[in-house]
Amino acid sequence: MTCIALSSCKNENKNVETNLLLKPFDTPYGVAPFDKIKNSDFLPAFQFGIDQQNAEIEAIINNTETPNFENTIWAFDKSGEDLNRISSAFMALFENHCTQEIQQLAETIFPMLSQHEDNITMNDQLFQKIKSVYDNRENLNLDSDQMMVVNKYYEDFVRNGANLSAEDKEQLKKVNLQLSSLFLKFSSNLLAETNNFKLYIDNPEDLSGLTKEIIDQAALAAENDGNKGKWLFSPTFTSMLPFLQFSDRRDLREKLYRGYFMRGLNNNANDNRETVDSIINLRVRKAHLLGYNSYGQYQIAENMAKDADVAYNFILDIYNQALKVAKDEVVEMQKIIKKEGGKFKLASWDWWYYAEKVRKAKYDLDESELKPYFKLENVRDGMFLLTNKLYGLKFEKLDDIPTYFPDVEVFKVTEANNDLVGLIYLDYYPRPEKGQGAWCESLRNGTDDINGNRVYPIATITCNFPKPTADTPSLLSFDEAETLFHEFGHAIQNLFSYNKYSRISGNFPRDMVELPSQIMENWCSEPEMLRLYARHYQTNEVIPDELINKIVKSSTFNTGFNTTELLAASLLDLKWHAKTTEKTEDVVKFESDCMKEIHLIDEILPRYRSTYFKHIFDSDGYAAGYYVYTWAEVLDKDAFQAFKETGDIFNKEIAAKFRNYVLTNIGQDEPMAQYVKFRGKQPSNEPYLRARGLK
């Protein structure tokens, strides 16, 4: 089988012996040799990996023995190991350092992968082998993990079209191929729109209200962009939000915010309206081919919510409560505008500026007081300390690991007894080649290889935090500190999720996947935890109790806005994917009609408008699934309550149960059943409502 695949590759790449992607990586911990991989290696490597997996599947099909777990399910579960290794290296670059050359490669590679995946899931001979094992599963003496793997693979094939007619399979393949190209187009357009808008300031008077740190960051950004002596602000959260919070120039706040919320709506080559409309219509067609009325019903059928209407009503109920609070917040800010002599009505680009004034007035707290205590390295070490106290984990920085960009740090994670857990890559700072926001990806899952050898996981955490300047280190806002804890929670879930079968290693349903990340945010603001990691970057002084009390008292500050904008985006997502017919839509009108239906006030925009709603339009990942952040927040607040009830937020016994039932073995039973095993009862929404200030 290997010879066949290598032969195919040699025809395309005469330098096959120098292509490091074609064999297991000869590096510490088997990491990708990013310092030696050439972009030209990827296309022949992907063809090699595809050929290799095709040969492995042919071996399963041609096996004349009666299909059983070992010769069919296990063999399929372990097929494609080479392709997985190659894909993870490429996706690390695509997600975190997407140069123009990587984008161009993706335009070829993504359709290749889409066709390959369809050729597998719609291979009737393979499906009949899997179906034979599924139909006979009660007679095969399978353990619980094996039974789960059989069930999952059978369901996967059915959900991906295995039972369709030959004609419908061809239609579905065309739809999937088109979607693959459109996802990439959406993502590329959004990256271009974000990079293309630049607010330059050359008059120091226009910096009124901004702190020295914000000004220094803007000066560094301008210098890096080739305009030393000016100040640059961009429509990324790291650059934009501090400007919206503190700039006294209302006209410039509007200009920058418009640069953000008009991305993909500028009637240029990067306009995303047609792309959004095409994606939605193709998803409707796909849902119909697979026997569902809407794409939302198709997606959510596999989630804990089970039904799209259940998800929508769940979100709408909380949204209505949050909207009432948001309207009260508008009244508070309008009073300040009037008091200061303003003759205008609060607008969306004013919100952060006047909310900051409210915070100062009500809690005697502003962001500039807090940031000196949240040096990036201190926050990082704090989250490491937290998982040491909960799970006994230890972290060692490795300086000999190749990375895809010089700023990236790599840490080895071990158990208390020094057993290896895995590796974490930390990528902190913004650059034009990566998108805004923060995310966690898995470069490798914890499982066994085809020979039964343990494979240790590798996770990446990507953020966009302020870069250090000549005078100050990277100082985080409290929200940014919570973001780092959040993404670290995803990484810990990745590191703890082990099963010998790849299919159920880390088998989280979409609306539970945010539980491991969001529960970590709870510790971030606990006084006992703050005293452990929040230290002044100049004096090393522990954050004083006075500031801790202000953080605690202001925990529900601006919660009406935060909850409303989040849930407005969730409802927009669900509305898009509730469509049951293919129809050309005016994207702006559709979005506007959705917001009118839920009575969203003019002062607030949904957290993501359609043309830059990356979560739902650059892949299928969160399509009809943005609601999961709120669904999982109900779970995370209830789960953290289990720690609080013991009087010890670092309770090792509760942590061990959470690790066992939720993080490591979530795939062993239905997700809610696993959660109840941890908690001892069904989750309550009371802790969530209290934490959000909605009760």
**Catalytic site residues?**
487
- Per the DSSP assignment, residues forming a β-bridge with 427 are 462
Sign of the torsion formed by the C-alpha atoms of 499, 504, 505 and 506: negative
Between CA 614 and CA 623 the distance in angstroms is 10
Name the DSSP letter for residue 452: S
Between CA 584 and CA 470 the distance in angstroms is 52
Between CA 153 and CA 134 the distance in angstroms is 9
Among residues 178, 169, 168, the alpha carbon closest in space to that of 282 is found at 178
Among residues 372, 657, 367, 361, the alpha carbon closest in space to that of 519 is found at 657
89, 37 Cβ separation under 8 angstroms: yes
Radius of gyration of the chain (CA): 26
Name the DSSP letter for residue 619: S
Q: State which amino acid sits at residue 413.
A: V
Q: State which amino acid sits at residue 59.
A: A
Burial zone of 634 (CB within 10 Å; 0-12 exposed, 13-18 middle, 19+ buried): buried
| Rounded to 5°, angle at Cα 630 from 92 and 614 | 35
As given in the structure block, the two tokens for residue 438 are: 């923060």
Render the burial of 556-565: b for 16+ CB within 10 Å, e for the rest: ebbbbbbbbb
Q: How many CB atoms sit inside 10 A of residue 150's CB? A: 22
Which residue blocks in 421-502 are alpha helix, DSSP H? Answer: 478-496
Strands 458-462 and 420-427: parallel
Between CA 544 and CA 691 the distance in angstroms is 23
The 3-state DSSP composition of the chain as helix, strand, coil percent (nearest 5) reads: 60, 5, 35
Among residues 469, 583, 478, the alpha carbon closest in space to that of 521 is found at 478
What is the signed CA dihedral for 388, 389, 392, 393, rounded to 10 degrees? -10
Between CA 250 and CA 322 the distance in angstroms is 27
Between CA 186 and CA 275 the distance in angstroms is 6
414, 394 Cβ separation under 8 angstroms: yes
Between CA 65 and CA 85 the distance in angstroms is 30
**DSSP-assigned letters across all residues of 188-199:** HHHHHHHHH--E
- Per the DSSP assignment, residues forming a β-bridge with 424 are 411, 459
As given in the structure block, the two tokens for residue 411 are: 């840490």
Query: What is the 3-class SS of 295-308, one letter each residue?
Result: HHHHHHCCCCCCCH
> φ and ψ at 374, to 5 degrees?
-125, 55
Sign of the torsion formed by the C-alpha atoms of 82, 83, 87 and 88: negative
Q: How many CA atoms lie within 13 A of 456 on its CB side?
A: 14
Sign of the torsion formed by the C-alpha atoms of 7, 12, 16 and 22: negative
Burial zone of 645 (CB within 10 Å; 0-12 exposed, 13-18 middle, 19+ buried): exposed
Between CA 558 and CA 46 the distance in angstroms is 48
